[in-house]
Structure 1
Amino acid sequence: MRRTLTAFLLLAAMAPAAVARTWYVKADHSGDAPTIQAGIDSAAVGDTVLVAAGTYGWTAQGTGNDYGMIYIQRGQNGFVLRGEGGAQSTVLDGEYRGRVMFVAGWNDIVVEGFTIRRGMAPAYGDWTGGGLATHLSHDIYRECVFRDNIANYGGAIWCGGVSSPQLVDCEFFNNQAINGGAVFLVNSSETPTFRNCTFTRNRATGSGGALYAVHNGFNLEQCLIAFNSAESQGGAIFARNVWPSSVTSCTIAENMAGEATAIFLNACPSVQVSRSIVARGSGSPTFTAINGSVLSISCSDVYGNSPDSFPAGVLDAGGNFSADPQFCGAVGSGVFSISGGSPCAPGLHPDGAGCGLIGALAPVCGGVSVKPITWGQLKDIYRGAR
């Protein structure tokens, strides 16, 4: 008996570990799995579902339901869903027939290299997340484009429950919702992160042109947030009762709102903006911070916005100024790289502060001269005008 057990243990030790598999999916259904959904359902931990270049629409995939065209079941994790040709050539198209993707919960997956477009949030779940709804998950979304999606809450993405997804090198363009034109975050003790993302021309008929957060936190790093609009509050960002949140090394420019073209805070005791450009907002003052909110701003250039841009609740944490950031493109061009002579370029801070690069984008064009003024001088100007 002892010899038999020993032999069994030796054989078990010599058995090869499970080998990760790639499930190849093609638009003509001729791959390893006939649809993306079939590939996902077949994937195990460590596997990759590789989707060939092409457009994968609701009709051709034939897998859509009330949750979405693609449904990732609760607890299914550890695999990668990758667009072989990248976002420019691998498209998930909801055809405005339903949500594109639903991630049900307790998932740790990577999704990269897709355009997610023309999703429409379903009535089931109160019309949330036209492109993607993710719940109780810690996913990574990389190099994805979310465009032309529609919802009541979160035109492109709705994220709820205890979730901390990371979105890296993603684009949000022309999405629309009542609240959260691009993104809606709700009810999480953990903090989603958006890194090196762009939010352009997203629209909220209510509040939060690019992002709306409630009972949640958010981190925005090296993001461009431009040409977004909210008919009510927060052309770029609306936040209510959020946990400590941050906006770092971002460019927030040419957004519009009925109130607060850049950031609207309601009962948010700790939101920090640092090393960022906030410029050319129109339609209302730049910031609103009410009901005990504290918006702490440091090492930032706040320039060319509507008057009364510095209300109670906005804290000057040092290193701020107001000077033309010298974008390389004219107003409305969408070009927000800065010139080599910009006061936002490293080493050119008007007061000599060691803030480094201010804004999301590095200098790429020639410099011109400016006459900068400090944050304190700007506030004195506004006090004198009252």
Structure 2
Amino acid sequence: MKKLYFSFIVLFAITWTQVVAQTTYYVKTDGNNSNDGLSWETAKATIADAIALANPANGDMIFVAKGTYIASGNNAVINPGAKVGLKFYGGFAGTETSLAERVFGTTAADSTNLVGNNYSVVVNYLAGGSTITTTLYDGFTIKNGNRTGSGGGMHNNISLTVNNCIFKENISSASGAGIYNSNNQITLLNCKFYGNKANTNGGGGILVSSGSSATITNCLFDGNITASGHGAGVSTYHTDANNPTTVNVSNCTFIRNEATGTGGGMYNYQNIKISILDCTFADNTATTNGGGVFNNTSADATITNSTFTSNIATLNGGGLYNSASSNGAITNCTFTSNIANNTTTATGGGGLFSTGAGPTVSYCKFMGNKAANGGGMLLTNATATTQFVNCLFSGNMATNAGGAGYINNSGTGSSSTPSFTNCTIAANYAKNTGGGLYNTGSNNGTTVTVTNSIIYGNSGGIANSVPAGATATVSYSNVQYTGATNEVDYNGGTNFNVDPNFTNLPAFSSTAPFTTGDYTLSSNSGSVINKGFNDAINGYNFDITGVNQRIYDTTVDMGAYEYQSVLPIKLSSFEARYQHNHVQLTWKTISESNNSHFEILRSDGVAFQVIDRVKGTGDSNQEITYHYTDYNPLSGVSYYQLRQVDFDNQSELSKIIPVSIAPKQTEIRIYTGESGEITIGVYAMKSGRANIIITDISGHKLLNQSVEIKEGYSTFENHIGLKPGVYVVSLQMEGETVSAKFVK
């Protein structure tokens, strides 16, 4: 019994020590360093004095009130030294008793400002580094650092997390002006980088150097500069080829960054596995290659759901430049109005330049890009095996050849072999030859494969350089033959040359580039509907919209869009809403003829399945309302569709409606249509009045509309004539604000 009693007392003592050991120290600009720092009333005057008392082993925190804290001499404002693992929080009014009471302001001036001198503003450095305990910074503006070396704003070699911070106008003579990282792991959330400048090397905003990994989420990089280097927004590199590092960037905006070198928005050097998800690259510039992003040798970048708009490269790859071995997938991305100004032969790629790389590019749009020599996109080198699937090339312009694409082979002894499957190439312009595609090469030429595609309405179709020995293998495709220089007539067999009757095909002209047009198929597009080859599109269940089934009937259509015919009944509405753990489907018909029943189809994004049937009326000239409840919906996003079946078993499908199942809070999503309309989708936990606000990236308010929100899913359509650019839609409802950005 004594032994058991003794063990209990020891355990209790240890537990009590762990509970009471954590201490919070307070700092205010009008504090006094002779104080104990244990309350706002007895706050310290400098962060350094609070650090001297704090113990990271106990999880100690330092709360810093709003105000300005200036570096003393050539020192950092914060330098924990060996005290790795402290947690620093700024943005307090100076009256809060807990972290939960802190309320941020809306501008940089309404925060805790850490102002540098002739050194880094914040230094997190420990000999040998540390990956055990993570230091945290949350709620600071870090500005005016000026370091001879790297890391004007923050210099790190330990693992840390940085949340809700602003890095502004920091300078480094070398690299990583905003943040420099070496041999560490860094996580950034909700941070902003304005006007930071790296004078040599790279990383105006951030440099993730050798041995480092990074997760960067919901951050803004605006107006950062490299005076002589790469990656004005973010630069990454790693030297160990056997152990590549990882960098994940999601929901970030890169705008107006300028690189005197490569990669205006981002530069990825080598031995990097990088994921770019839901990001926007707009109005960035590079004096060489990759106005938006530059991926160098062995930088394996996967880019998903991202937009590249109005980026400029003095040489190649206005939107994106992929160097050798950059083979990561590019999925559901949009490249619009990017420019490559290189005038040398076999250069260009307004939207994409890829040399020696073989990524799969799917569900992407290349619209209104311009190249001073060749192509809305340009592929070169013998190892260029890029595959384009379900992609649109429209309104692109080349002052030489290859309006949509210029494909070259600069390798020796083998041929560049890209492929285009279910692609639409329309309304592109090349001043000299190859309005659609131009294939050439200095060694063996190129061997291009085109399947299930539409190449129509360009200044020319497919042109092959005869002296170079370039060829194209074309099947199950509609390729226009205009008789232009080097153009080949592919009419015959499974190919033909007829008007596909797009919904809206603009006339190409020397005034290109442009982003207008609607390249969906119409009811008059019978020449290309059900005329493809199913086996060529195996593994892709949706067309370029990501919603419409790729094979709507028995045979796949040609081009990027699958034609979805309308119901023979007159369907006036079809809605699906998530309510009380169920999905409620409602649809109305204003007339019916020979209507046996409706099949309810549901998909998780891979394939549709029939989950139930609802009996039809047969024949009617009156409005009829139908209801169906899915009591066991799938988690995440589901897609619902109706199949109307006649008594003779003929059937037609309705439009597809996505439904987000049981999100934890209000959600807002934006869909931009081909004709410029903006559809705002809102999922709300309850009904009520709300304001929808649209602002540009600088915060100028362009729309403030009061709307009635229903519980579940609602949509609102706007036609406010926005110019091309980056915008933010916000929904304000009962004190809650949710936002989402989009590119017009």
Q: Return closer, same or farther for 1:272/1:319 CA change in 2, 3 Å cut-off.
A: same
Does the 8 Å CA contact 1:301/1:358 hold for their aligned counterparts?
Answer: no
The DSSP-based 3-state class of the residue aligned with 1:155 is coil
Match of 1:311 among 349, 353, 358: 353
Residues 54-203 of structure 1 mapped to structure 2, 5 A cutoff = 54-59=67-72, 65=75, 68-74=76-82, 76-77=84-85, 79-85=87-93, 86=104, 88-94=110-116, 96-104=117-125, 105-106=129-130, 107-121=133-147, 123=148, 127-137=149-159, 139-151=160-172, 152-161=174-183, 163-177=184-198, 178=200, 179-188=202-211, 191-203=213-225
Q: CA deviation at 1:82?
A: 3.5
Return the alpha-carbon distance in structure 2 between the equivalents of residues 75 and 211 of structure 1: 28
Does the 8 Å CA contact 1:80/1:110 hold for their aligned counterparts?
Answer: yes
Q: Return closer, same or farther for 1:295/1:159 CA change in 2, 3 Å cut-off.
A: same
Equivalence for 2:302: 272
Equivalent residue letter for 2:69: Y
Return the alpha-carbon distance in structure 2 between the equivalents of residues 50 and 91 of structure 1: 13
Q: Return closer, same or farther for 1:6/1:78 CA change in 2, 3 Å cut-off.
A: farther
Match of 1:48 among 55, 61, 69: 61
Q: CA deviation at 1:310?
A: 2.4
Does the 8 Å CA contact 2:269/2:295 hold for their aligned counterparts?
Answer: yes
Q: Return closer, same or farther for 1:204/1:169 CA change in 2, 3 Å cut-off.
A: same
Q: Return closer, same or farther for 1:172/1:136 CA change in 2, 3 Å cut-off.
A: same
Q: CA deviation at 1:253?
A: 0.4
Equivalent residue letter for 1:234: G
Does the 8 Å CA contact 2:113/2:140 hold for their aligned counterparts?
Answer: yes
Return the alpha-carbon distance in structure 1 between the equivalents of residues 352 and 11 of structure 2: 67
Q: CA deviation at 1:191?
A: 2.4
Return the alpha-carbon distance in structure 1 between the equivalents of residues 92 and 307 of structure 2: 35
The DSSP-based 3-state class of the residue aligned with 1:51 is strand
Cα deviation 1:171-227 (Å, max 9, x = unaligned): 000000022111111112x52011000000000112111011110432110001000
Please tell me whether residue 218 in structure 1 is matched to residue 220 in structure 2.
no
Cα deviation 1:329-358 (Å, max 9, x = unaligned): xxxxxxxxxxxxxx9xxxxx9832149968
Return the alpha-carbon distance in structure 2 between the equivalents of residues 90 and 229 of structure 1: 28
Does the 8 Å CA contact 2:325/2:358 hold for their aligned counterparts?
Answer: no
Equivalent residue letter for 1:311: F
Match of 1:207 among 216, 225, 230: 230
Q: Return closer, same or farther for 1:187/1:57 CA change in 2, 3 Å cut-off.
A: same
Q: CA deviation at 1:120?
A: 1.2
Does the 8 Å CA contact 1:239/1:268 hold for their aligned counterparts?
Answer: no
* Larger displacement relative to structure 2 (214-223 or 311-320): 311-320
The DSSP-based 3-state class of the residue aligned with 1:12 is helix
Match of 2:29 among 18, 27, 42: 27
Does the 8 Å CA contact 2:27/2:62 hold for their aligned counterparts?
Answer: yes
The DSSP-based 3-state class of the residue aligned with 1:70 is coil
Return the alpha-carbon distance in structure 2 between the equivalents of residues 48 and 317 of structure 1: 47
Cα deviation 1:49-74 (Å, max 9, x = unaligned): 00011100013xx7x53xx3321223
Please tell me whether residue 251 in structure 1 is matched to residue 275 in structure 2.
no
Equivalent residue letter for 1:182: G
The DSSP-based 3-state class of the residue aligned with 1:72 is coil
* Larger displacement relative to structure 2 (214-223 or 250-259): 214-223
Equivalent residue letter for 1:170: C
Return the alpha-carbon distance in structure 2 between the equivalents of residues 276 and 14 of structure 1: 54
The DSSP-based 3-state class of the residue aligned with 1:37 is helix
Equivalent residue letter for 1:40: I
Does the 8 Å CA contact 1:263/1:287 hold for their aligned counterparts?
Answer: yes
Return the alpha-carbon distance in structure 2 between the equivalents of residues 191 and 148 of structure 1: 24
Equivalence for 2:49: 38
Match of 1:238 among 243, 247, 267: 267
Return the alpha-carbon distance in structure 2 between the equivalents of residues 240 and 269 of structure 1: 6
| Structure 2: gaps spanning 5 or more residues | 38-43, 94-103, 239-244, 341-348, 369-518, 520-541, 548-604, 606-657, 659-668, 672-678, 681-693, 695-702, 704-717, 723-744
Return the alpha-carbon distance in structure 1 between the equivalents of residues 283 and 301 of structure 2: 21
Q: CA deviation at 1:282?
A: 2.0
Equivalent residue letter for 2:162: Y
Q: CA deviation at 1:136?
A: 3.2
Q: Return closer, same or farther for 1:290/1:322 CA change in 2, 3 Å cut-off.
A: closer
Equivalence for 1:339: none
Aligned sequence identity (%): 24
Q: CA deviation at 1:167?
A: 0.4
- Provide the aligned C-alpha RMSD in A: 3.1
Return the alpha-carbon distance in structure 2 between the equivalents of residues 99 and 230 of structure 1: 22
Q: Return closer, same or farther for 1:164/1:77 CA change in 2, 3 Å cut-off.
A: same
Does the 8 Å CA contact 1:319/1:351 hold for their aligned counterparts?
Answer: yes
**TM-score of the superposed pair, with normalisation by structure 1:** 0.77
Q: Return closer, same or farther for 1:24/1:136 CA change in 2, 3 Å cut-off.
A: closer
Equivalent residue letter for 2:51: I
Return the alpha-carbon distance in structure 2 between the equivalents of residues 193 and 6 of structure 1: 48
Return the alpha-carbon distance in structure 2 between the equivalents of residues 76 and 223 of structure 1: 28
Equivalence for 1:17: 17
Return the alpha-carbon distance in structure 2 between the equivalents of residues 58 and 214 of structure 1: 31
Equivalence for 2:373: none
Q: Return closer, same or farther for 1:92/1:318 CA change in 2, 3 Å cut-off.
A: same
Equivalence for 1:337: none
Return the alpha-carbon distance in structure 1 between the equivalents of residues 59 and 275 of structure 2: 33
Equivalence for 2:558: none
Does the 8 Å CA contact 1:289/1:314 hold for their aligned counterparts?
Answer: no
| Larger-Rg structure | 2
The DSSP-based 3-state class of the residue aligned with 2:339 is coil
The DSSP-based 3-state class of the residue aligned with 2:185 is coil
Return the alpha-carbon distance in structure 2 between the equivalents of residues 172 and 314 of structure 1: 33
Cα deviation 1:104-157 (Å, max 9, x = unaligned): 232412210000000112x4xxx01001011131x1111000001001211100
Query: Which structure: greater strand fraction?
Result: 2
Return the alpha-carbon distance in structure 1 between the equivalents of residues 175 and 230 of structure 2: 10
Q: Return closer, same or farther for 1:369/1:22 CA change in 2, 3 Å cut-off.
A: closer
**TM-score of the superposed pair, with normalisation by structure 2:** 0.42
Equivalence for 2:332: 299
The DSSP-based 3-state class of the residue aligned with 2:268 is strand
| Structure 1: gaps spanning 5 or more residues | 325-342, 344-348, 371-386
Return the alpha-carbon distance in structure 1 between the equivalents of residues 88 and 118 of structure 2: 26
Equivalent residue letter for 1:299: N
Return the alpha-carbon distance in structure 1 between the equivalents of residues 60 and 257 of structure 2: 38
Equivalent residue letter for 1:27: T
